[in-house]
Amino acid sequence: DAGVIQSPRHEVTEMGQEVTLRCKPISGHDYLFWYRQTMMRGLELLIYFNNNVPIDDSGMPEDRFSAKMPNASFSTLKIQPSEPRDSAVYFCASSFSGGRNQPQHFGDGTRLSIL
Amino acid sequence: SQQGEEDPQALSIQEGENATMNCSYKTSINNLQWYRQNSGRGLVHLILIRSNEREKHSGGLRVTLDTSKKSSSLLITASRAADTASYFCATAYNNDMRFGAGTRLTVKP
């Protein structure tokens, strides 16, 4: 059974460019989470979806960040325009019904470097 | 806050020794979970302990929960070099889950 799949694994781009991160959750999972991990701030929840609907985006740092989930098997996190301080590892995770209290399955992340 | 805080921040032991990591939190919980993160990889769920449970085992892992002290511990017995990773506790309450900053465990061969 395939786990959560994220792409790309690494992204290096220049400041001001648009960045799109992609995630395919585990089939049958109805919760999808986007996290950002840095040494300074640890693991931060950016946004999460339930049945493709955004439920809580209070963790999205600013309007430059947006996330979509057009169907149950695909989600994107977009940064436009990107800034050096956005450099981090971005994780997607999914979980089965039961809310945010249930174990989450993480992808291996996208390591983003903004020059 | 609800967020768990792991202690110690870093731990270095020899292969074969036991490793104990602690997690403290400040509010109520429905459950507490432990995750492992290997370098360059995502978090992997290890074990979930409910608020009405006091101890749980999974493989070579032992987790305890003391809700009166608002603390949990993760014990890895007879550690191996492959156990080298960061370990995070996550506290879950009312459809919200927060991760701690993690303990970095190094097991030397």
pLDDT per residue over B93-107, tens digit each? 988 899 999 999 999
pLDDT for the residue B7 = 84
Average pLDDT value for residue range A49-57: 95
The amino acid at residue A47 is I
pLDDT for B59 equals: 86
User: Quick check: B42 and A43 CB within 8 A?
Assistant: no
Amino acid letter, residue A32: L
What does the pLDDT read at residue B4? 78
Measured distance CA(A107)–CA(B30) in Å, rounded: 25
pLDDT of residue B1: 45
Q: B105 near B17, Cβ under 8 Å? A: no
Contact B42 A42 (CB under 8 A): no
How much of chain B is in helix, strand and coil states, percent to nearest 5?
5, 60, 40
Q: How far is B52 from chain A (nearest CA, A)?
A: 15
Residue A84: what pLDDT? Answer: 97
- pLDDT tens digits, B32-64: 999 999 999 999 999 999 999 999 999 889 999
Cα dihedral B92, B6, B51, A45, rounded to 10, equals 0
Contact B81, B107 (CB under 8 A): yes
Chain A residue whose CA is closest to B50: A101
- For residue A99, pLDDT beyond 90: no
B100·A105 Cβ contact <8 A = no
Mutate to test the interface with B, among A101, A106, A110 (most CBs of B within 10 A): A101
How does pLDDT run across A6-44, given as a tens digit for each residue? 999 999 999 999 999 999 999 999 999 999 999 999 999
Q: Which of A91, A101, A105 sits opposite B31 (nearest CB)?
A: A101
* Structure tokens, B100: 């701690």
Q: Assess B42–A contact: CB distance below 8 Å, yes or no.
A: yes
Residue A108 dihedral angles phi and psi, to the nearest 5°:
-85, 5
Q: Is the pLDDT of residue A82 over 60?
A: yes
B98 within 8 A of B28, measured Cβ to Cβ: no
- When pLDDT is averaged across residues B71-99 and rounded to a whole number, the result is 94
| pLDDT average, residue stretch B68-73 | 96
Polymer length of chain B: 109
What pLDDT score was predicted for residue A49? 96
The confidence score (pLDDT) of residue A1 equals 63
**A38, A43, A89: best to mutate for the B interface, most B CBs within 10 A:** A43
Helices then strands, counting H and E runs in chain B, come out as: 0, 11
| Contact check, Cβ <8 Å, A106/B93 | no
Q: Do B93 and A101 touch (CB under 8 A)?
A: yes
